[in-house]
Structure 1
Amino acid sequence: MTTTDLAFTIERAKNQEPIGSPCTGVCKLDPAHGLCAGCFRSREEIKGFRSMDDIAKLTLLDQLLARRSTIAPSPAPSPAP
């Protein structure tokens, strides 16, 4: 999963009616930080997503890419040979 894929999934979710899920299909909680390795939601956020109002969903969606960059920063480019 790349940041671009997650960004695409989030934008698609924001444009759905009702607001859609940011699930990327990875669905694996990382024990190191307790967040899904695909969408970077916590178990509680995943379980409660359907019952959130649209404002709460949009707020959460806006946080996911930032979470990902904090937890899994992009690797530095390799130096040219």
Structure 2
Amino acid sequence: MSKETPCVAVCMIDPKTKLCFGCGRTLPEIARWHTMESVDRLAIMALLPARMAEAGLMPIAASPKRI
């Protein structure tokens, strides 16, 4: 994945918090991610760890690549 995306390819939205279990973004953020300016993406990424912790969600790590 790109350095400017928090995506770990675990795309499931928590029905209670409306956050992605894998990265912590909301559906609107995910939908517009590719059109956002780099500075905006980086600003959101800086908030994600605290957002996930506040919501009581543990990030799901990406599955290791199989060779």
1:32-79, CA deviations, whole angstroms, 9 ceiling, x for partnerless residues? 1101011000000001011000110110010000101101267xxxxx
- In structure 1, distance between residues paired with 2:45 and 2:57: 18
Q: Does 1:31 align with 2:6?
A: no
Q: Does 1:67 align with 2:27?
A: no
TM-score normalised to the size of structure 1?
0.64
What is the identity, as a one-letter code, of the residue corresponding to 1:45? E
Larger strand fraction of residues: 1
Q: How many residues align?
A: 58
Name the % identity.
31
Provide the aligned C-alpha RMSD in A: 1.9
Match of residue 51, structure 1, among 11, 28, 35: 35
Structure number with the bigger relative contact order (C-alpha 8 A, sep ≥ 6) is 2
Runs of 4+ in 1 over 2 A off after TM superposition: none
Could you tell me which residue of structure 2 aligns to residue 42 of structure 1? 26
Name the larger-Rg structure. 1
TM-score normalised to the size of structure 2?
0.77
- In structure 1, distance between residues paired with 2:24 and 2:57: 13
Change (3 A) 1:34 1:23: same
What is the identity, as a one-letter code, of the residue corresponding to 1:67? R
Larger helix fraction of residues: 1
Gaps of 5+ in 1: 1-8, 14-19, 75-81
